[in-house]
Amino acid sequence: MLGIVALIVAGILLLGGLVIVGMRNESGVDPLERRLAEYGDREMPASLEELELSLSLQERVIIPMYKALAGFVVRFTPENQIDSIRHQLELAGKSQSVEPTTFFGQRIALTIGFGVGAFALFFLVSDWGATKGILGTIGAALLGYYLPVLQLRSQIRRRQDGIIKALPNALDLLCICVEAGLGFEQAMGKVYEKWDNDLAIAFGRVLQEIQLGKRRSEALRDMSNRMEVNDVTSFIAALIQAEQLGVSIAKILRIQADQMRVKRRQRAQEKAQQAPVKMVIPMVLLIFPSLYIVLLGPAIIILLESGVFGAI
């Protein structure tokens, strides 16, 4: 029995290690190229075999095993699911660092790890019975399968909230730069240089795409699709329409900046109105019981010692 438990624990640790190193290997840099750069200053460069052997165990064994697992999973995954995950990774701002194959590999590894761990816990360590053990194992496996999806959705919401908060200030800077005589692309470059948030990075990507030959309207529309933020979508639509109709971009930017500031004020007022309602639950469940214990506790103790409840 102990040997089986040890094998299961070892398997869980192996899967967990694969997931950890797979998630950490998101730099997009080839380890062999990095090692070649390290040996580039030597007078006698090392051979390719020696450089490969100089890599760590993680880079030579664990990461290739993780990538092989991810590639095996993708073979049996429908193409529409891969496209959906790729789009969600773009919404989370991780399309350059995490591939869909890596994401699916994490899901399968966590599913197996959670399922095996729950099986060992419910059937070998504790005695829950066959029905409860099977249900617990299935529940743990489902949790491992959907946990990366929940984490990705949380990252998407956090990125979208950051874009919404940064958009009014970015529009103000765009408006100031355009009214000062700069072109719209140069104004986007100023936003990219000034800030280091997701919106500024998105503007920098638009500039790179324009330099590579993509039309500005297409690059801006693609940026809107990579965010799926209503404020950004309306701003890009107004900007493209102004460009097509020949309207002054500075005027459009001024109107959009005013509207975004009004929307930001309205969101702040909405959250302020929601605060009392959200405070009711913790007050009823946490604060009021503590107050009752502190205020009424001594009186109840005195009544119990006086025998009043016993006489009743």
pLDDT of residue 308: 65
**pLDDT band, very low/low/confident/very high, at 60 (cuts 50, 70, 90):** low
pLDDT of residue 25: 47
Domains by residue range for the chain, with CATH: 2-26+43-158 (no CATH), 162-264 (1.20.81)
pLDDT digits (tens, 9 = 90+) for 27-45: 455 555 665 665 555 555 4
Least confident of 7-21, 48-62, 205-219: 7-21
- Of 9-23, 105-119, 141-155, which one has max mean pLDDT? 141-155
pLDDT digits (tens, 9 = 90+) for 62-98: 667 766 766 676 676 677 777 888 888 888 888 777 7
**What are the angstrom distances between the C-alpha of 201 and each of 3, 28, 195, 253?**
52, 18, 8, 19
CA distance 189 to 193: 6
